[in-house]
Amino acid sequence: MNNLAHLAIIMDGNGRWAKLQGKPRTHGHQQGINALRNITIWCAKEHIAYLTLYAFSTENWSRPKTEVEFLMRMLKKYLVQERPTYLEHKIRFKAIGNLKKFSPTLQKTILNLEQETATHTALTQVLALNYGGRDEIARACGRILERGLKGDLQELIGAHLDTAGLPDVDLLVRTGGEMRLSNFLLWQSSYAELFFSPVLWPDFTPEHLAQIIASFNQRQRKFGKV
């Protein structure tokens, strides 16, 4: 799948999925982990180079305190529990977002997994954590100003984003039926093809994704040309 180097996914619908089962929202996030694992392994097998997933946004801190605390605990557990998946499938792990807001132990766990999987070549899985597109662009500009760098501003910004070195997003998928970007990869998705699936994230399977990719492959991408 050479024309699909970078797939980005907004994993939406965990809360509604749980509600439909008569369970608390947190149950939906737990089930979301299974979907995340299945999709990641499938992408590695399909030789997709980069998969970026929106796990926690800069806006998610304003959810109820109990849910935020649950998500933090879940993230920490995820990084430990899923380590064998990254090792077995030779998946490289990378985090983007403003990680400084996380506890020092969580930051260390993130860094450890990044370092441990740095030479893996099957798939780079990028987790967006405390991520916001505007925040990322602002932090990049801040670094450019701080260093007094001069030159082509678009190139400079691209090179100072958290995603520096990654290709632009080719395909952006949002599950859960809403049709918005929610501050995700704003710079990188300038020419991405967008797909919105009504399926709630915990129910989203590799078969759903394969169908979306098949229709992505039918689309003619013009990048502003005729």
What residue ranges bind ligand FPP (CB under 6 A)? 11-16, 25, 29, 32-33, 36, 55-56, 60, 71, 74-75, 78, 176, 201
Which residue number, 58 or 189, has a Cβ lying nearer to ligand FPP?
58
- HSE, side-chain direction, 13 A CA sphere, residue 195: 24
Q: Respond yes or no: is residue 60 known to be catalytic.
A: yes
Task: Quote the least distance from Cβ 42 to ligand FPP, whole Å.
Answer: 15
Compute the radius of gyration of the chain from its Cα atoms. Answer: 17
The catalytic position among 38, 60, 112, 183 is 60
Chain centre distance of CA 128: 5
Task: Quote the least distance from Cβ 218 to ligand FPP, whole Å.
Answer: 28
How far, CA to CA in Å, does 65 sit from each of 11, 68, 72, 211, 218?
Answer: 21, 5, 11, 37, 44
- Are 195 and 175 in contact, with CB atoms under 8 Å apart? no
Q: Residue 48 is which amino acid? A: I
Task: Quote the least distance from Cβ 25 to ligand FPP, whole Å.
Answer: 6
Which residue number, 85 or 158, has a Cβ lying nearer to ligand FPP?
85
Task: Quote the least distance from Cβ 38 to ligand FPP, whole Å.
Answer: 12
> Would you tell me how many other CB atoms lie within 10 Å of the CB of residue 31?
19
Q: Does residue 47 have a known ligand-binding role?
A: no
Q: Does residue 146 have a known ligand-binding role?
A: no
- Which residue sits closest to ligand FPP, CB atoms considered? 15
Q: Residue 8 is which amino acid? A: A
Q: Does residue 16 have a known ligand-binding role?
A: yes
Q: Respond yes or no: is residue 217 known to be catalytic.
A: no
> Would you tell me how many other CB atoms lie within 10 Å of the CB of residue 180?
10
- Which residues participate in the annotated binding site for Mg(2+)? 12, 193
Looking at the annotation, which residues are catalytic? Answer: 12, 60
